[in-house]
Amino acid sequence: MDRLWTCLLLGFAVFVGAGMAWSGELITAEEALASQAAVPMLAVDETPANPQGPVIAVVDAGALAQPMKNPFSIEILMQAQRDADLNFASFKAFYGAFKIDITERLLKEASKTLTGLKLANLQIPSGRHKILLRVSDTKGRTAEKEIAFKVE
């Protein structure tokens, strides 16, 4: 029971402090700590991913299987099906067990490409991390991709 209260208090502290992250910080140390200590939470919302929706993939996803060292880079591909276009305005990124919306921070660090996003020179606290990416197409079909990785 003490662990549950600790997780809830850490989660509350993260939510209260989430708006105070300074420029260039994708994930704060407090967010990482709270997420790693947390009991898994409910989904962000109930919008189901559509298998006919866009495709989200990580270039060189195999590299994420090995522990990353700061600074590191990730390239994300996003592609709509042939019968629609990608609605990039719908893009969202959520961090960790508490599904903290880091979309704005991620987009500040990213370079938009013709096929998705490139994130370079990322500095993320040590530990295991999960980022849920979500995007829709112009027909309203939604895709999600969870990226899990470890930083040494």
The predicted structure's pLDDT at residue 51? 76
Helix, strand, or coil (residue 131): strand
The predicted structure's pLDDT at residue 48? 58
Quote the mean pLDDT of the chain: 79
Q: Is the pLDDT of residue 104 over 60?
A: yes
Q: Is the pLDDT of residue 19 over 60?
A: no
Closest CA to 129 of 146, 109, 115, 150: 150
| Single-letter residue type at 14 | V
The predicted structure's pLDDT at residue 13? 36
The predicted structure's pLDDT at residue 29? 79
Domains of the chain: 2-151 (2.60.40.10)
DSSP 8-state code for residue 68? B
